[in-house]
Structure 1
């Protein structure tokens, strides 16, 4: 069993400046949780904050009542103990709060952590896998300080939400890491609330993309940058040479914006994210395998229904989020095609709870390598259309919904979210229950 205590804290990010923060089991961020496919997970979540919050298991396939969305609120002083059996492939997932209307501020204050899943197929591959040595979790956030406080205001014309002027990795400003292996695996998580990153290295070197949001690819893909919007993850493997230093950077983003939109929404910003410093002598690493895992997403040919989702600021399909309204009812065991269109002149992305989908098309074309693996969050530039294939494996619960929403968290808080329930074949949606306090110690 895991224990997670949400609590206020204080952190000295800069010498002599103490910042008020929130964290899990500490002052800022939370511990990395790890479980293997087939294991039963139980988490005791205690809310030591002065306001209600939740813990959502982003990317996890689990019963809706255990999902930690806005229907599973945990009041101050209360405890919530979800449990489920891990039934999905090895992947880099994460956890964060999901209170309706307040997710952005709760995440920005420091409530986030990694949740890594393992399985036999992934463990048998000759990939870097020693946690904290050649397999490094990187929680990337942008921040801005006003004196010793976290800034929170949006800049003028910043349609995406809050944008910081500095980045942190695992809660550290200007971080570096000494590594001692030829191959290093970086598990990249964009835990920012609005900023989009284009990750690459300062010398332009290629790296191998081995995994996306929901797990490993069929085979490694050689890239020199990978773009991640809020909530997205990527697993990459980079080759190091003895004694060298190289910087993981975020370069200009291709967000499909005009000149001013690009400038005011962070597209022109560049950051040094993490310096890797190689030891003078490196341990030899096995060669990356040419094949990784069998395809893990549903097939579009199996779809029995198609749905359309229109994105605009504060709304999906013309409606803002309402807690007691079910927007879609899906049958357990069915496969569907969801077509998502960004109607706005600003960036959005689209996150679906409980499922890992396949990206079938982007603007009518086959997606590139960075979208070829299992995904739960996908970026949409203005006027983009993506076609997704999703399989809903349940369990059925007609009264407890899962969410779909924009993961630019200010957009989500404005109401850019909807709900779906999974029912038995031929079943009908029930009535979502009003959130209530979880207690019981």
Structure 2
């Protein structure tokens, strides 16, 4: 029996993915995928989950969770995607359009979904729009690359993999020093000793021991719901769960009178959602300078030294010829690099990167990881890098892994 075709389309951050998905689902002609024009397709994407979630919230109409008490918005990403996939298969479409299906999933859930989609590919046509090469299913038959609106076909899988393989990236020059170092006396920046956390009677963390010292490079990993965000919120001061426990931040025991503001002065923090806060017409130069003032936008006249420092960072990022360009006009990958420079401009004692490569294509993620590795090597800043995905080029010294159980997650420390 002849197996259905399985198409892989490598997307980049400049790809017009929405338009391509629209054309496929509305049976518009797409070069190289002409056989789909007479077939019925359905989308498997994050935006579809959001659409059904909106239906539940606004109109109390349950579609993906019909017959279940738990609302869609309280489910994990893995549970939401499972519910959507089951619903789509019940409709028995001729083909499925998969849009970055493994984003926001932990490694184990990614593996299960990949196995399930590979099984589906034996009897249904799949169109995979993937930003990461590692996500492409093994039974793929046809390969493409989406550059803007242009869909480029490949004659063979060999030519596709040869052209798109990832190379190591290096930044030239040293990272700029801070204008004034943020001093901390203790070598130990963060110390958890037998810390346990519960929410509504459910144990989330169980007897956590974790010490982070000056200049160390850590990767924090663990499945969805294992407590990674809870750990981070106790470090940044956004959670009260550390009070009364053996948790010390920058030499001060939690609850001993430290202010959240004092903590945040010593911590750089970046998550992709922060980028969305900068919607004004901020120049790249001002974006980096605003990191010195912890402000969203720049509302003071910058000094010559501040401008010089910002331009040193932009030169390192090879964006110095665009210093007066608006941040909002950058590609997603370049926005992340500028935000990284903004987080690091003061050389904070501790830098937390929370899923910083989520949603990036391979090239942009590789560039971001290269910058993180350079900062870890050339500064005294300790780094905590949180990611569901294993970035091939990331070079942490230590790994702290959370292992869930009924009694809450325990933590295991290992060398990378």
Taking structure 1 as the reference length, the TM-score comes to 0.26
Higher strand share: 1
Q: Which has the larger radius of gyration?
A: 2
The structure, 1 or 2, with the larger RCO (C-alpha pairs under 8 Å, 6+ apart) is: 2
